[in-house]
């Protein structure tokens, strides 16, 4: 059935994907918050699949939703909005793996869709259990569940960032007199450069630790508001006059947490590769120079009695 004449979904619909190994996906057509859109959610087995050969391609998703690529005016992948123009160029590429904590959803915005009256949802704000708004509550449920999962992952990342910060702060030091004496000029210059990377890494770690502690994940942000709104209104399905706006706030909150997770992971990897390992490599070079110099001095001391005995004879 063409998207333009397809009625709005009242729940997730299973869509068979063309191809013997492609399986199926789930679709939600014309949600109230975006009536010109279809939301495609990958099946769990697709999300867990390893290897590009076992993953569907974008063309299969469009075929499953009966959408022509020329109709697509915009699309988003796992919460990231993309321009519609590159879509045709990647039609035959496998669907990318969703990042950890991201909802495995791809949204396609279609031109010429038959839109409902603008006040359709808002005209029945008190029909909390009705078909018009029930799925919006479900969308909030999904976003909040993902938010709670992300918060747990962020707590673990925060501990990892703190541990990394302690390590690179310990490494960032002046060379001792012996290291300065026996390290060559290049090694000393490399150490100064490594210290700059350590300081840059530490600044990033501190930034995202602070953002975690005082930003959206903490009660200093809006976290308490989201918690109370969900527990007091969404979970018992009580009427909400601005339900669509609330749903968008939960969605935006989930995306902000995903961005923070990405930033914290990137900062951790940066500190490990460009900070800690780089500095350890330079220090190891200088330490080898020190050991070599000590060995030479020890050899000269051991050979000195023999040399003196030979001269006496």
Output the CA angle 166-171-173, nearest 5 degrees.
120
101 and 163 assigned to the same domain: no
In this prediction, residue 54 carries a pLDDT of: 66
Q: Are the C-beta atoms of residues 47 and 104 closer than 8 Å to each other?
A: yes
pTM: 0.55
In this prediction, residue 224 carries a pLDDT of: 87
* Tens digit of pLDDT at every position of the chain (313 positions): 677 778 888 877 888 887 655 578 888 888 765 677 888 888 776 666 555 566 788 888 888 888 888 888 777 777 666 655 566 777 788 887 777 656 677 888 787 654 443 333 333 333 333 446 888 999 999 999 989 988 998 999 999 999 999 999 999 999 999 888 888 889 899 999 999 999 999 999 999 999 898 877 776 668 889 999 999 999 999 998 889 999 999 998 988 888 888 888 888 888 988 889 989 999 999 999 888 888 887 777 766 666 665 655 5
In a domain, 115, yes or no: no
In a domain, 154, yes or no: yes
In a domain, 182, yes or no: yes
In this prediction, residue 11 carries a pLDDT of: 77
β-strand pairing of 105-110 with 72-77: antiparallel
Of 48, 75, 110, which marks where a domain is finished?
110
In this prediction, residue 273 carries a pLDDT of: 84
Q: Are the C-beta atoms of residues 110 and 38 closer than 8 Å to each other?
A: yes
Q: Report the C-alpha gap between 197 and 236 in whole angstroms.
A: 51
In a domain, 123, yes or no: no
154 and 278 assigned to the same domain: yes
105 and 135 assigned to the same domain: no
149 and 270 assigned to the same domain: yes
In a domain, 124, yes or no: no
305 and 261 assigned to the same domain: yes
In this prediction, residue 53 carries a pLDDT of: 60
Q: Report the C-alpha gap between 236 and 217 in whole angstroms.
A: 24
Which of 305, 217, 204 is CA-nearest to residue 263?
204
Residue 98 structural domain: 3-110
In this prediction, residue 10 carries a pLDDT of: 80
In this prediction, residue 250 carries a pLDDT of: 93
140 and 104 assigned to the same domain: no
Give the list of residues 6+ apart from residue 35 with CB closer than 8 angstroms, or none.
8, 113, 115, 116
209 and 61 assigned to the same domain: no
The total number of structural domains that make up the chain: 2
147 and 272 assigned to the same domain: yes
64 and 141 assigned to the same domain: no
In a domain, 49, yes or no: yes
């Amino acid at each position: 059935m063409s998207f333009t004449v397809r009625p709005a979904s009242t729940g997730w619909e299973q869509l068979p994907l063309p191809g013997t190994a492609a399986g199926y996906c789930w679709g939600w057509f014309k949600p109230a918050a975006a009536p010109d859109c279809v939301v495609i959610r990958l099946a769990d087995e697709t999300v867990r699949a390893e290897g590009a050969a076992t993953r569907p391609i974008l063309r299969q998703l469009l075929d499953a939703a009966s959408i022509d690529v020329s109709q697509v005016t915009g699309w988003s992948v796992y919460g990231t909005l993309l321009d519609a123009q590159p879509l045709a160029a990647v039609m035959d590429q496998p669907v990318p793996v969703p990042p950890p904590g991201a909802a495995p959803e791809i949204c396609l915005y279609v031109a010429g869709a038959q839109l409902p009256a603008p006040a359709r949802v808002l005209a029945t704000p008190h029909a909390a259990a009705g078909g018009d708004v029930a799925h919006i509550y479900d969308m909030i449920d999904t976003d909040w569940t993902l938010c709670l999962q992300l918060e747990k992952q962020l707590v673990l990342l925060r501990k990892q960032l703190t541990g990394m910060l302690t390590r690179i702060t310990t490494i960032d030091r002046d060379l001792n007199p012996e290291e300065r004496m026996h390290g060559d000029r290049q090694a000393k210059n490399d150490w100064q450069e490594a210290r700059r990377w350590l300081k840059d890494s530490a600044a990033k770690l501190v930034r995202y630790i602070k953002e975690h502690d005082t930003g959206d994940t903490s009660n200093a942000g809006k976290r308490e508001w989201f918690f109370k709104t969900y527990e007091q209104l969404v979970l018992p399905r009580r009427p909400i006059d601005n339900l669509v706006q609330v749903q968008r706030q939960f969605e935006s909150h989930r995306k902000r947490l995903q961005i923070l997770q990405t930033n914290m992971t990137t900062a951790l990897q940066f500190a490990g590769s460009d900070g800690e390992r780089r500095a350890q490599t330079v220090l190891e070079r200088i330490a080898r120079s020190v050991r070599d110099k000590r060995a030479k001095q020890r050899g000269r001391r051991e050979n000195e009695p023999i040399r003196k005995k030979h001269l006496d004879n």
